[in-house]
């Protein structure tokens, strides 16, 4: 009976440890099954930052915004969009969620931002008086 519990606990730990990878695998399956061109799939499998044409291609192939946003957030790439690029994304049908995320990246991931990283759970020091933000750098 004790060995059964041990095996059950070990199996549960294995499943919990693989949870992050399985989400990435599901996202990769969603991208490939939507008909996204192979070069873009390879780019995403290799964790290469996407350019605006890639983001538009994901939208055209009806890849769910959640998949696109998870991928973009995982890379912490900074996008500095001008008005013409925002208009181009909107005209191509890219959602406001994705556009707003792209617009927010300079503030989120710029190391010169004294509150960087913004709302990151990996920030080692937290100050409750700063609403959970990281401690400002001097």
Q: Tell me if 27 is assigned to some domain.
A: yes
Which of the 8 DSSP states describes residue 128? G
Q: Which of 59, 22, 23, 65 is nearest to 40 (CA)?
A: 59
Q: Tell me if 7 is assigned to some domain.
A: no
Q: 52-60 and 38-45 helices cross at what angle (nearest 10)?
A: 120
Mean pLDDT on 41-68: 96
Q: What is the pLDDT of residue 27?
A: 92
Q: Tell me if 12 is assigned to some domain.
A: no
Q: Tell me if 1 is assigned to some domain.
A: no
Q: Is the pLDDT score of 9 beyond 70?
A: no
Which of the 8 DSSP states describes residue 135? P
Q: Tell me if 138 is assigned to some domain.
A: no
Q: Is the pLDDT score of 74 beyond 70?
A: yes
Residue 34 CA to residue 89 CA, distance in Å, equals 20
Q: Tell me if 2 is assigned to some domain.
A: no
Q: Tell me if 129 is assigned to some domain.
A: no
Q: What is the pLDDT of residue 135?
A: 47
Q: Is the pLDDT score of 57 beyond 80?
A: yes
Domain count, the chain: 1
Q: What is the pLDDT of residue 19?
A: 46
Structural domain of 75: 20-120
pLDDT in tens, 78-137: 999 999 999 999 999 999 999 999 999 988 887 676 555 544 444 444 444 454 444 454
Mean pLDDT on 36-48: 94
Q: Is the pLDDT score of 64 beyond 50?
A: yes
Q: Tell me if 45 is assigned to some domain.
A: yes
């Amino acid at each position: 009976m004790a060995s059964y519990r041990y095996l059950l606990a070990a199996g549960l730990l294995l499943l919990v440890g693989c949870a992050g990878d399985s989400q990435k695998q599901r996202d990769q399956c969603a991208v490939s099954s939507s008909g996204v061109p192979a070069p873009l799939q390879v780019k995403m499998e290799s964790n290469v930052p996407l350019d605006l044409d890639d983001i538009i291609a994901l939208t055209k192939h009806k890849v769910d915004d959640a998949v696109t946003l998870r991928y973009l957030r995982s890379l912490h790439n900074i996008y500095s969009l001008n008005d013409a690029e925002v208009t181009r994304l909107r005209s191509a049908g890219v959602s406001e969620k994705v556009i707003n995320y792209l617009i927010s990246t300079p503030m989120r991931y710029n190391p010169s931002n004294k509150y960087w990283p913004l709302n990151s759970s990996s920030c080692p020091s937290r100050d409750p008086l700063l609403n959970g933000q990281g401690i400002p750098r001097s």
